[in-house]
Structure 1
Amino acid sequence: MKEHVDVLGVGIGPFNLGLAALLEEGTELNCLFLEKHTSMHWHPGMLLDMTDLQVPFLADLVTFANPKSEYTFLNYLHEQERLYAFYFFNRFDIPRKEYNAYLQWVASKLTNCQFATNVTDVTYDLKNEYYLVSCENLQTNETYMLSAGHVVMGTGSKPLVPASIKESLTEDFVHSSQYIQNSEDLKAAGSITIVGSGQSAAEIFYDLLHDQERFGYSLSWFTRSAGFFQMEEGKLGIEMFSPEYVEYFHELPFSQRKEALPLLGSIRNGIQVKTLKNIYDLLYHRSIESPHRPAHIQAMCELNEIKRLDSKSYDLTFHQWQKDSNVSHHSEKIILATGYKPAIPEWIEQMRNEFEWESEKEFKVELDGRLVFKEPRKAQIFALSNVVHAHGTGATNLQLAVQRNQRIVNYVTGEETYPISRGNTFQQF
């Protein structure tokens, strides 16, 4: 046994990084957060120029818990001597590249984060009431074991590819998460098709539309959604990201929570208004001197079948579900902006009989993310992934990740280390 820690975090994304900062700054607990990648990188494949975070800068890692923290975004700007520049920038949102740089800055300052370390297994020691955690240092190949009083699963998500086309994919199909790494190869093709209608799909479409005249490819954009709709950005609408709404949602029966999620689609998904405006404006300007549309854009079309035509191109069959007809489309390169699914570690699956499940794929969690064990135990596992069914709109929201982390810290310390703010909304839930 190498050492014992009070809290062990598995994975270092924004959620666990924020928790690491709150624990290091506000408690005396011995904590360690492990990440298999060699450094902190947040969605590197989508760090496009002129793209912004979808939440204001106040939704950083710590501000809603402790605005006096050393790890606020404003303090990052201060230490980078960028505070005046940001003031003159005069924006509430921040560039996505700068958010990534902020995360890297926080990770570099914390002493409880360790990279290039893979957690290969987690088991529960019933006698000692702690978890045994098997680790591998990916740089030295050393394997060792830790014990932990609590474990926080922050393993994030992984690309989602529709099952109907998964077996037909080749190197010409690129998930949006790998867009930047493959953009040069994509733009060298004669035709490019984007599948999907969220923010990532829109940003990729705009980037490709911007460079279309320089490279000369034809461009298409399909989605199975009913349209290319904007995200809800109204002030009353975004109160759904409040702690009060998360508490209300969590108390609903599972069946009602599942029924409510599609109704919240415009809040959870959709495209930013400014992104849609930029796309339309560019399309309009391109149309002035050309009788042809700059791109093929079509909704209500689900990609069902892929056939290779030759060494360079594919026949894509889309089902137009409203007319119940098929649309055939040819393309050399295809970008799948089809979203993500929770990355659940194998060691969680091996424990599945130890805790309660609300469905075959959705485990039962408390408001602070604790898994609900069939036999109550002192040592807890907190889940930051796969909790949309339990926390609704706030499950993947950066602002509410801070509130959830406050609850985790308060639980493991046994006191209100970071009090939860109340009375935040004008509407009642």
Structure 2
Amino acid sequence: MSAHPLYDVVAVGCGPSNLSLAALATEIPGLSLAVLERDPEMRWHPGLMLPGAKLQVSPWKDLVSLSSPTNPYSFLNYLVFTGRVHRFLVSSRGGVHRKEFEQYYAWAAERVGSVHFGQDVRAVERVPEGFLVHTADTTWRSRNLVLGAGRRPHVPAAARPFLGPDVVHAHHYLRAPRGTGGARTLVVGGGQSSAEIVHHLLSAPGALPSRLVWATGRIGLPPLDDSAFGNDWFTPAGVHRFHRAGPKVRARLLEALRYTSDGVSEGLLTDIYHRLYELDYLEDTAFGHSVLPGYRLAQLGRRETGYEALLSGIEPGDELAAAADTVILATGYSDGAPEFLAPLLDELPRHDDGTFRTRADFRLDTACRPAGPGALVGTGGVWVQNAARHSHGVADPNLSLATWRSATILNSLLGRTAFKTEGFDTAFSFAPDGALDGPPPATRRTVPTSSTAQAGTFLQ
């Protein structure tokens, strides 16, 4: 088995978060970084890349722009590079397609020079020089780790014995052999993915079921809270406010802010409602539907043909039986350490609820030796991407702050400020010490001088 030279950092997983890390790292001379991805190419939730699916965030919340707008791996530079920028500005007024961002990610991954595809990480072990990261056919040596392997699809216990061609998690929807056309179809879940799948079932050629049951779990189908003040929590100051809070306050904030990140785009809800109206009253189609707010999957069993699901409502004894040929589980994702991290679990401190103790800079609370003579970074640190919702709030799994988080991790790795990560204004007053005195508006309008700016981190 071959082994690689010692890297300053190995990042596991090439989703948008670690790809952002790789793009920003190109600005740091001498930093050696390897991003390991098990897939053979850059793909972004391919099982949910439904036609017409759009971003729920601004396209300028890309890989680099909010931390380093002059970085060549910005979405704007991609548009210019590919010659589509003018047509994009005309055509994108209704939102940006996720497919276009997947194309942008693939463009960046091909060019940053540090992404290695086809590297399925099997185990990680600590050694005096840092870590050994073992894949199927090689070993990568690294002083530090950044974990961005993603979350696992959550499958309700009742459905696990039946996973297969006819019972699939939404994560695999487009890649599964589906037979929904003219069939009885049950969709479980009330978030954005479930709504996109329902819209696809109602609109795509050959996909329309004979009967659709949509058990939303939620009381109704709440839209995404995309309000101005709701979005203020998706700022560095909002994350710092959340991280400073105690466990009980964090739990309250997560529940109160749930639909700032976990609601359904209002336009999509409108489209689904209109489509159901057309099918019910305007089209001569053999189709029936039941949209069930507040119902969850309690049991699932086989029948002579298909499955029978027991759906449990809000009140005790409020149960419904639904026959289905196909069951689609849009039931979200589970937190938890990836299997390859098992050799390190005993040394990673956790809270009482099992979540990892994560510092403000996204480093797990582990021993880390400072940089030695001639070294650019220290040794032994473990940072996490998209795995700190419990400690950093609703913004953590969202694309909104992926760039800021990567910049924060790189600053922490280097032990210096390579990127501007502090001093961003918000409308909310997230006062750290209860003090309400802030700079007057004239001060806020002052443009930083070159003496306080980090080169390449913002336009001057």
- Same fold by TM (over 0.5)? yes
Matches within 5 A, 1:3-18: 3-18=5-20
The structure-2 alpha-carbon separation of the partners of 1:50 and 1:144, relative to structure 1 and needing over 3 Å to count, comes to closer
Unaligned runs of 5+ residues in structure 2 are: 370-378, 431-460
Q: 2:157 aligns with which of 163, 168, 188?
A: 163
Structure 1 pair 186/293, CA: closer, same or farther in 2 (3 Å)?
closer
2:337 to 303, 327, 344: 344
1:411 is matched with: 412
What residue is the counterpart of 1:133 in the other structure? Answer: 133
Deviation of 1:386 (Å): 2.6
Contact kept in structure 1, 2:387 and 2:397, CA below 8 Å: no
Query: Does the 8 Å contact 1:64/1:399 carry over to 2?
Result: no
Match of 2:232 in 1: 239
Change (3 A) 1:371 1:214: closer
User: What's the CA shift string for 1:97-137, capped at 9, x where partnerless?
Assistant: 101111100001111110111222222224x4x1122233x
Matched residues in 1 for 2:206 and 2:344: separation? 54
1:277-356 pair list within 5 angstroms: 277-289=270-282, 294-310=288-304, 312-322=305-315, 324-342=317-335, 344-356=337-349
Q: Is the 8 A contact 1:189 1:333 kept in 2?
A: no
CA distance in 2, matches of 1:252, 1:195: 34
Whether the 8 Å CA contact 2:121–2:340 is kept in 1: the answer is no
TM-score of the aligned structures, taking structure 1 as reference length: 0.92
Match of 1:181 in 2: 175
**What residue is the counterpart of 1:380 in the other structure?**
381
Alignment of 1:81 with 2:83, yes or no, is: yes
1:262-288 CA-to-partner distances (Å, cap 9, x unmatched) read 111111211011111111122223333
Which residue is equivalent to 1:139?
A: none
Secondary structure of the structure 1 residue equivalent to 2:58: coil
For residues 4 and 206 of structure 2, what CA distance do their matches in structure 1 show?
58
Q: Determine the structure 2 residue equivalent to 1:152.
A: 146
CA shift for structure 1 position 394: 1.4
**CA separation in 1, counterparts of 2:302 and 2:140?**
50
CA pair 61-214 structure 1, distance change in 2 beyond 3 A: closer
Unaligned runs of 5+ residues in structure 1 are: 137-142
SS of 2:7's partner is strand
Q: Measure the CA separation in 1 of the matches of 2:207 and 2:48.
A: 21
Distance in 2, matches of 1:321 and 1:150, equals 47
Change (3 A) 1:406 1:224: same
Query: Do the aligned residues in 2 keep the contact of 1:195 with 1:221 (CA within 8 Å)?
Result: yes
Cα deviations by residue, 1:159-182 (Å, 9 ceiling, x for unpaired): 110123322444310111111123
Q: Is the CA contact (8 Å cut-off) linking 2:201 and 2:207 kept in structure 1?
A: no
Contact 1:150 1:381 in 2 (8 A): yes
Q: Which residue of 2 aligns with 1:256?
A: 249
For residues 81 and 423 of structure 1, what CA distance do their matches in structure 2 show? 33
Instruction: Calculate the TM-score normalised by the size of structure 2.
Output: 0.86
Equivalent-residue separation in structure 1 for 2:203 and 2:390 (angstroms): 38
Which region of structure 1 is more displaced relative to structure 2, 17-26 or 204-213?
A: 204-213
Contact 1:156/1:343 (<8 A) preserved: no
Residue 346 of structure 1: CA displacement? 2.6
CA 1:381 to 1:90, structure 2 compared with 1: closer, same or farther past 3 Å? same
What are the Cα deviations for residues 81-105 of structure 1, in whole angstroms up to 9, with x where unaligned? 1101111114273101101111100
Tell me the equivalent position of 2:376.
none
Amino acid at match of 1:400: L
Aligned mates of 1:211, 1:86 — CA distance in 2: 25
Structure 2 CA distance for aligned equivalents of residues 244 and 109 of structure 1: 32
Match of 1:91 in 2: 93
Cα deviations across residues 9-61 of structure 1 (Å, max 9, x unaligned)?
Answer: 11111100110111123342011111111111000011111110111101111
1:329 Cα offset (Å): 0.8
Q: Determine which of 179, 194, 198 is the counterpart of 2:191.
A: 198
Alpha-carbon spacing, 1:31–1:229, altered in 2? closer, same or farther (3 Å)? same
Contact 1:342 1:385 in 2 (8 A): no
User: Cα offset for 1:71?
Assistant: 0.4
SS at match of 1:404: helix
CA contact 1:7–1:149 (8 Å) conserved in 2: yes
Q: Which residue of 2 aligns with 1:400?
A: 401
CA 290–144 in structure 1, closer or farther in 2 if over 3 Å, else same: closer
Superimposed CA distance per residue, residues 369-412 of structure 1 (whole angstroms, 9 cap, x where no aligned partner): 10102x55442000114311011111111121111111111112
C-alpha displacement at 1:343, in angstroms?
5.8
* Alpha-carbon contact 1:230-1:276 (below 8 Å) kept: yes
Asked if structure 2 preserves the Cα contact closer than 8 Å seen for 1:24 and 1:112, the reply is no
Alignment partner, residue 140 of structure 1: none
Contact 1:189 1:332 in 2 (8 A): no
